Structure 1
């Protein structure tokens, strides 16, 4: 049994019960979940070990403020940078990327728009020649590679998840527009002002706060009565094919870098290497949809919020295989990535983490784990928490 720490407001006890159940039944090692409603915290829970590869009772416990690599949940933070630059009049979402980044205008990319980068419609999910881990982290080779890459489809005509290349596409665009790296922009304009324990490029001084992640096996699902129909093709099937766009997209860095390596954590990879606490992710999304802590600290103007969650891409995803839905930088609620309600928007991280906002209910949600299970979206632990949250909201005034 894991001793769950933290508090929930009256009526949100189902979230605590589901969180404890994740340790008992769903293979959780160490995790935290935080929920805000109308800008105020209503659930703040943590438990288990700080390091997924920790040794049982001898491992360091997860404490308030433990942070973890959140993989693609970082994408939602990175997207906010471009949308805030648009809100400030510094970026035109309908301008060609080459307007800001002249070297990008090669090999049929002249008509790639800024909005295509955010909605995974640029046709650049994979590289003809994958980067080595050292190249991926150097801040130069990635942007150079995507600038030279020819699209895999006519930009704007289809969508496919840009799992790794999103880092270099958005990061370089922000640098060209602002003169600052995306990680620095987040630190100075978002994390600092809002008091978020969130980094894209972990400072040396924060290393000891971050736990180790590890791949873990999920417990076998109980046998169910009746006939189970397996999908014709899954993302796992596609990933096993070395020639597939799925495999090539996720292995744009090959071999994959060690995510526990201090050098990886210090690098700025806005697609996959953000490090955050659950509170930071939830608080970030709360700031997108309303005021925080009773004060005017909202990031997105109403028009920007509308743009962020307006559907830009829907249907068959050329990388994830299943049907997906995207706004500008955010996954939208749907079968591939269930959130709270049809108006929810946010982003999961491969293996577990999830963060999103639901403007209609005023809810912001952040879940961080160190035990990375074999999924890209719809992690069963995160989904159990979302279902519990839905139950709690249904009973709350």
Structure 2
């Protein structure tokens, strides 16, 4: 693993990155290197935007609440959030939201990034609109709005914001949804890919609306409004160590509701991602990564960050970086590190 990271840094495939493996309760790998910005090295406590890997932290919050009986994945969303029943969504279940089959994968109204920072108002817009397909009838990846949907459910149950619940339920974890100013100087600068790697002409209209309303350029990821917002779909700040330490609660069976992750919510070509994904509760169960057979759940972030929870091998692997690669899922950098992890076992 160390040789792969060194080689990728040397060859320019990485600018800065960290990797971590936790197995059987022990930190087996904890490596970092490269540059966090043109003027600063990547240090052991460097943080970076993890994009959609953030959704796995949102899943942890939901699973903890479910374990206490405060959240029932099989209940209608409207039990907790009555306004969500509007416009034909009375039968949308919590598990539909967690499994990306809600039919609400983006905003009908044109919204700006500033609109999204007001999480309650952005959630209210989602509650008022009709589903874009029959809920439960296959997936449409909730690329940006996932955190607004789950976050509002969590807020209605707990009276607290999603980032607050994450911080209070998992104290001491150096992973932030709503980053404090005291951590701003540890945030790495993203290096965008030359292109998104997405052929818009081949996308479903639902995908175009989901992915471009609004457009969120990587350059905003180090701005104060973005960092302090709680966008549970895409703006969690962490490093491989903090990601792996939190997600190892899944691979090591510390979450009482872990079996529910493996309840298949959809298995087919996702309307937004344009590729086949089997979604469980809050995680993917397979997809375009070189994973072995077994009880494995995972997800990735735009640019290539990835976390894999392998329950059979009691292993969690995390990789985060600032040099982004193109593509929405299964980026080459993520694949390289996943292959390296399993080749070492």
Structure whose CA Rg is larger: 1
Tell me which of 178, 181, 191 is aligned to 1:204: 181
Report the TM-score, using the length of structure 1 for normalisation. Answer: 0.83
Q: How does 1:341-360 map to 2 (within 5 A)?
A: 341-360=293-312
Kept in 1, the 8 Å contact 2:64–2:255? The answer is: yes
Quote the residue 2:9 is aligned against.
23
Quote the residue 1:101 is aligned against.
81
Structure 1: unaligned runs, 5 residues or longer: 1-14, 219-233, 291-297
CA drift of 1:353 comes to: 0.5
Kept in 1, the 8 Å contact 2:325–2:332? The answer is: no
Supply the distance in 2 between the matched residues of 1:240 and 1:72 (Cα, whole angstroms).
23
Tell me which of 65, 77, 84 is aligned to 2:45: 65
SS of alignment partner, residue 278 of structure 2: strand
Kept in 1, the 8 Å contact 2:75–2:94? The answer is: yes
Q: Does 1:251 find its partner at 2:212?
A: yes
Kept in 1, the 8 Å contact 2:47–2:237? The answer is: yes
Quote the residue 1:5 is aligned against.
none
Supply the distance in 1 between the matched residues of 2:206 and 2:303 (Cα, whole angstroms).
20
SS of alignment partner, residue 215 of structure 1: coil
Supply the distance in 2 between the matched residues of 1:325 and 1:185 (Cα, whole angstroms).
28
Quote the residue 1:268 is aligned against.
230
TM-superposition CA deviations, 1:307-359 (whole Å, max 9, x none) = 1123221111111111111110101133x244454421121001110012101
Q: Does 1:389 find its partner at 2:337?
A: no
Quote the residue 2:319 is aligned against.
367
CA drift of 1:241 comes to: 6.5
Kept in 2, the 8 Å contact 1:67–1:276? The answer is: yes
Supply the distance in 1 between the matched residues of 2:234 and 2:281 (Cα, whole angstroms).
17
Q: 1:363 to 1:201 in 2, by over 3 A?
A: same
TM-superposition CA deviations, 1:115-136 (whole Å, max 9, x none) = 0000011001122223111111
Q: 1:246 to 1:26 in 2, by over 3 A?
A: farther
RMSD over aligned CA atoms reads 1.9
Report the TM-score, using the length of structure 2 for normalisation. Answer: 0.95
Tell me which of 32, 55, 63 is aligned to 1:83: 63
SS of alignment partner, residue 286 of structure 1: helix
SS of alignment partner, residue 144 of structure 2: coil
SS of alignment partner, residue 308 of structure 2: strand
Kept in 2, the 8 Å contact 1:123–1:154? The answer is: yes
Supply the distance in 2 between the matched residues of 1:100 and 1:215 (Cα, whole angstroms).
39
Supply the distance in 1 between the matched residues of 2:178 and 2:4 (Cα, whole angstroms).
32
Q: 1:188 to 1:299 in 2, by over 3 A?
A: farther
Tell me which of 249, 255, 263 is aligned to 1:300: 255
